[in-house]
Each structure stands twice: as structure tokens, then as C-alpha cells.
Amino acid sequence: MSTAVSAAGDADEGETMPDVLRVWRDGEVAVLEIDNPPVNATSQAVRRALLDAVQRAQSEPETLSILICGAGRTFTAGGDITEFGKPPREPHLPDLINRIEESGKPVVVAWHGTALGGGCEIGLGAHKRIIAKDGFVGLPEVKLGLLPGAGGTQRLPRLVGPVAALDLIATGRMVGAEEALRLGLVDAIARKDLRAEAIELARGLIGQMQPRLSLRSTPAAEPEAWQAMVAKVNREARGRIAPQRAIELVSQSLTLPFSLGQPNERRAFFELMNSEQSRGLRHLFLAEREAGKRPELASVTPRDLHQIGIIGAGTMGSGIAVAFLDAGYKVMLVEADDAALQAGLERVNGLYLRAIRSGRIDENTRLNRLSNLAPTTEMSRLAGCDLVIEAIFEDMGAKIELMKKLANLVPASMLVATNTSYLDLEPMADALPAPERFLGLHFFSPAHVMKLLEIVRARRTSLQALSTALAIGRKLKKIAVISGVCEGFIGNRILAKFRAQCEFMLEEGALPREIDAAMEAFGLAMGPFAVQDLAGLDIAWARRKRLAATRDPADRDVPLVDRLCEQGRFGQKAGKGWYLYENGHRVPDPAVEAMVRAHAAATGRPQRSFSAQEIQNRVVAAMVNEGAKILGEGIAARPADIDLVLVNGYGFPNWRGGPMHYADALGLKQVLAVAQNTEARDGRGFEVAPLLAELVSSQRNFSTLNGG
């Protein structure tokens, strides 16, 4: 018989605590099942109920052994993120886990789904661990800018050795059952029935004295392996504090007793909890989960899609095809002629061969996925598809022609999407008989890897089409953000302002290498000029030419890219662009710097030097001002959506939480002041977003808009 246990013992007067733990006995084994949907987070109620149940089990003569397990889809996702940042409430997780470890009766933990963070740490306190064969375990706190705070940094090295422990703690990666067994993180894998096998394991320990992991010493590491792991963690940390603290804490497990190491860990945990980095990462975690939730879509059922048509098998088209094949869809890939189709198929196959080489898939998986791919040069075969995505070159005329053809060939019930990254959707929608079934699905290159998907909502796009696109995003494991229609949508529109701002600074005395260094120090993997060289300056040049006719003459325009391209400096592929490329190394080019200086002097603007901080602030102010315009125009629904786009599609450092979150942390007054001091309209200063000005005058920040 089972009892539902609430944490009433700790409830304030009048406060009802939820039932979060079911307790029953199987013979001499007390089974404690955490039941706190959706992910069994170790909230205060769970900790209280577990502590009470463990203590009760100690005093019950009928109980000789204890099993802790979880109900639902997962053991536990760990500490309750909604409690973070608030004063911690007793019982604290480390105390509960110490109590479990000290139990005179053996404790077994059964992990299924995901045993993460505090969930993994509960297991480390137990005397034996068993995992379901499809279960995962890990300490992902670092992804939230944190470290394990309930003994994980001190117990894990004692169990699996310091090198493996540092790897798991600093990367936050989850390991599957087989790897967990190999590492010694679990004692057994349940082959058939986790619950039954865990009860048997618990029963088998009855009467045996259980060793306590915290009293063990950490096995010494091979010095070379340890140094290599430390170097790897430092290299990959790139400005993030938590991985660097992980090195210190895991090292301490080698020299300090647990009783001294644990308080150090606890201190580090709270310091990190209060850090801007953790706030930024937690903001993104919640933003990701909110992005797809729109009140207007709450009661709209997405359509079920099976067969996807993709027109155009270039870099984008083939990447999109792989993204859908990987998610289990059937894909029809269309090209204009046999040669282009063959080249596209080779691209798709090449992506799979690369995945095999890197160990991500095996040959069977490649064959299975390719068996769902139907190549063709006949557009009429698309008639059986549920969704068709065009991924042809970026030319409005060609895209409209394609839509007209589709209108004659395919049923009006089909969803049609464009993968354009900046073109207006309305003229394309006009060419279709059912514009309500048309929208943008803007994938980022490489489409099968990049997490971001901008879903572009045209004027007539139906709610069902939108809801279906969000469901596709989930199935493709993408972070999908809805954008309205404007040049460049959310991401490329902000990127354009970011780049323009960098070019303005070139006219005021900064050099490309100074701006790149400042932005790399800010956390970007590559500075903006180095990125332009990588992508090819001809792309920026073509865009400038396309926009020349419609450019407002009052907008400040920096023609340096034109000058570089006129000299054949197309970037890395030409061996020269903003930089020179010598034997694959990027080096500043005095000729370019002289050209920049001469151009800057010719503008007549005052010249000065820029600090890295000033460069960063100018760039952020430009991005945030444009973000505020995007919000004001209703192109993005929430500031957090903009953060998701910039972090997941454009390399904005995730630990800064995205530009809008970062601006809140900086203070919008300062951001506004920087923007106002920038000359972005020749002789007319800077166009401040009304929303930004309004927030500053009402002393609010972007986070106050997030729910909207």
C-alpha cells in the first residue's frame, strides 16, 4: 500500500504543501518515489518529504533497506530553477544528501530518464546506483553558470577519479547508461525492469555495512591526463567563471577532506548563483521554454506533417534536408536539373559521412536516413507533400516565379515556406492561392547543426500554420522564435546595425583589429571584420549594391567594403580582405589600415582612440536600440526572443544572456546615453527607439516586458 507524502512538517501556517513523494514498502525495502511533475525538481517540498521519509525509514523496524526513485518521465532534473535567486529554505539539499549517506540502512537510487544536477548528487550520496538502459545522468549546472552545490564536486571525483569528474562537471554533458557504467558512476544497468531490479539490489544489501563515498579519498590522477583536462577546461571556458571554479573545487577533493571541501563548494555555489553570468544563462534557459508559448496559439492544434518537399539542394537546401531526415521525416529534394540534383545528393551524403567520421552516427543510421530521401527534378512530384520549403537563391523575381509554379502544381492545402533570410514575404504570398498557408522558415547555416529557427509570420499567415511551424521546430530540436516581416527579420536586422556601428567607429579612429579584439574579449568567437572575411566580402558588397537604390541618403554610409572589393579583397578565399591571410594565419594589413585612416580623415570627423569597453558599449547600444525598435514595431513579441536569436544564431555570448538582458544589467540609462552620442544619421545624430526612451523615462527595463 502506498502513501502520498506532503511536506506539511515545514508548511507555514495555512500553507498547503503539495504531495510530492509516494512511499510504500516492498517486503523489507521502503520505496520512496519522488512525484513532482513535470521533472521532479528537488523543490523545498520534495527535500522536506524525502528527509522525513528517510528519517522515518531509519526508525521503522520493518524497513531494512531503502530505494529512492522517481515517477513520470524522469528521475529528477535537479535543483528547482524557480527557487534560484530566492533565499534558500530548509532542509538544504546537501544536508539531505549527507543524511542519506549516513543512513544506517542501505540506500539505493534508481535513475531513469535524466538524473541531473541535484538528482545525480542524491545518487552520489546513496550507497548504490542503478540506471535504466535508456537513462542519462549528468551535472549540467555549469550550463546555468553554476556548479553542483550539494556535494557533487567533492563526491564525484572520489567515485570516478578527478579527470573524468572535471570533464563531466566542467562540460555539463550527460552520459548514457553504458558510459556511466564504464566510468564507475553506476553499479548496474537495469536490463528489463528498473524498479524490480532496483528493489532486488536494495534487498541484496540488507545487513551489510555501507561505505560512505565522502570518507573515501579521491584516487590520484595521472599528472599528464589531469594537466591536459585542466588545459582543455581553461581553453573552452572563454570568459565563463563556473568551469574555472570547477578546476579549483575538483582539485580540492584531492587534498581536502570532504568536511572542508563541501563548505567551499557551497560558498562557490552561492557566489555563482549571484553572478551576472548565471543570471544570464538562467534567463536564456527560461526564455527557450517560453519562446513557443503564445496566448493566441494556446488552443490551436498543429497539423501533422510527414512528407517535406525542399526546393533547391544548395548548401542551405541540403542542410535543411538533413535536419528533417534526422528528425524522422520523409524528404523530397527538388533541383532544376540532374547535375544540380546530383551535386545536392553528394552534399547530403557528405554531411552524413562527416557525422560518421566524428562518431555521431553509424553506417546503418546513414542508410536509414537516406532511405527517406527522394530526389527528383520534377516539381509535380511535390503534390504529395505536407510542407514545401523553397531554398533557392535570394532573388525576389525567381522566388515569385517559383511560387506561381507551385500554385499550379500543388494543392492549396499544402503549407509553403520560404527560407529567405531577409526578403519581403508579402509579394511571394501574393503569388499563392492560399497565402494563409505561407510563412518563412529561416534556417541558419549549417541548417542541420545550428539551433536557431526564425519562424517568419507574414501578414496573412494563419495561426494553424504558425502553430505547425512551432511544432516542427520542437521536432527538429531547434530553438524556434517567431518574427514579423522586415528587412533581415530579427537577427539579420540587428546584425546590420551591429556591423554599421563597427564601421562608424572606423571613421572615428578605431582599426578593424582593435574592434575585433574588443568584441572577442566581449565573448564573440570571432570579431565582426574577421567574420566578414570568412563569409566573403562580396556578400556584404552585393547587399550594399542591392540596398543602394533605397538607402535613405541621410543614413550614415561607410563605403570601405566597396573599396576593398574593388581591389579584389574578397576575404579569406582571396587571401586578403580586412586582413591578410598568410599560411592560413590572419594578420593585420598595413595597407588596409592606411586606407581606413585616410578614409576616416577624409570624412572630417574628429579622430580618437577607443578603449575595448567603449567599443563594446557602442556595439551593444546599437543592437539594443534596434532590438527596442523591433519590439516597438511588434516584429518580436518579447525581449527574451531577441536574446535567443542573437545567442543561438549570431554567437552573442550566452553567459551575457543576450543583448536585451545584458542591457538591463548594464542599465538602460547608460545604453541610451551611448546611443545618443553616436552619429548614425549624417548630421542628424542617432534615431533612438521610442521604446528605449520610454523605458528609461519610466525607470523600467526590458525584463518588465518579457511576459508580453
Contact 570, 561 (CB under 8 A): no
**Among residues 261 and 571, whose Cβ is nearest to ligand 3H9?**
261
Rounded distance between C-alpha atoms, residue 158 and residue 163, angstroms: 11
Which residues are part of the catalytic machinery? 121, 141
* Closer residue to ligand 3H9 (CB): 244 or 376: 244
CB 649 within 8 Å of CB 492: no
Of 152 and 512, nearer to ligand 3H9 (C-beta) is 152
The minimum distance between CB 172 and ligand 3H9, in angstroms, equals 8
User: In this structure, what are the phi and psi dihedrals at residue 37, rounded to the nearest 5 degrees?
Assistant: -60, 155
The Cα–Cα gap between 41 and 45 comes to 10
Each residue of 579-615: b (16+ CB within 10 Å) or e? bbbeeeebebbeebeebbeeebeeeeeeeeebeeeeb
Q: Nearest distance from residue 455's CB to ligand 3H9, in Å? A: 18
For the bound state, the minimum distance from the C-beta of residue 265 to ligand 3H9, rounded and expressed in Å, comes to 9
| Cα 271 versus chain centre, distance | 23
CB count within 10 Å of CB 401 equals: 13
Residues forming contacts to ligand 3H9 in the complex (CB under 6 A) are 38-39, 41, 74, 77-82, 93, 114, 116-118, 121, 140-141, 144, 146, 148-150, 152, 289
In angstroms, what is the minimal distance from the CB of 112 to ligand 3H9?
12
Residue nearest to ligand 3H9 (CB): 117
Pairing of strands 65-70, 107-111: parallel
Q: SS3 of 424, please?
A: coil
DSSP string, 146-168: ----SSHHHHHHHHH-HHHHHHH
Shortest distance in whole angstroms from residue 144 CB to ligand 3H9? 5
Nearest to ligand 3H9 of 84, 422 (CB atom): 84
| Calpha distance 84→81 (Å, rounded) | 5
Nearest to 49 by CA among 3, 86, 80: 3
Of 153 and 572, the one with the shorter C-beta distance to ligand 3H9 is: 153
* CB nearer to ligand 3H9: pick between 45 and 630: 45
Residue closer to ligand 3H9 (CB basis): 131 or 680:
131
Q: Which is nearer to ligand 3H9, 114 or 616 (CB)?
A: 114
- Cβ-contact 332, 381 below 8 angstroms: yes
Q: Measured in Å, how far apart are the chain's first and last C-alpha atoms?
A: 47
Q: Which is nearer to ligand 3H9, 114 or 617 (CB)?
A: 114
Provide the sign of the torsion angle of the four alpha carbons 126, 130, 132, 133, taken in this order: positive
| Residue 375 phi, psi dihedral angles, 5° rounding | -85, 145
Residue 376, beta-bridge partner list? 334
Show the CA angle centred on residue 655, arms to residues 177 and 244, nearest 5°: 65
Neighbours of 61 (CB within 10 A): 6
Prior bond of 38 cis (ω within 30°):
yes
> Shortest gap between Cβ of 38 and ligand 3H9 (angstroms)?
4
Q: Which CB atom, from 154 or from 492, has the smaller least distance to ligand 3H9?
A: 154
277's grid cell: 553570468
Q: Is 574 exposed, middle or buried (0-12, 13-18, 19+ CB in 10 A)?
A: middle
Report d(CA 628, CA 643) in Å as an integer.
12
Q: How far is the CB of 80 from ligand 3H9 (least distance, A)?
A: 4
* Residue 233 C-beta-side C-alpha neighbours within 13 Å: 27
Smallest distance from the beta carbon of 190 to ligand 3H9, in angstroms?
20
| Burial environment of residue 637 by CB neighbours within 10 A (0 to 12, 13 to 18, 19 or more) | buried
Amino acid identity for residue 354 in this structure: R
Least distance from C-beta 275 to ligand 3H9, angstroms? 14
The span from the CA of 153 to the CA of 499, in Å, is: 42
> In the complex, what is the shortest distance from the CB of residue 152 to ligand 3H9, in angstroms, rounded to a whole number?
6
Helix, strand or coil, per DSSP, at residue 193: coil
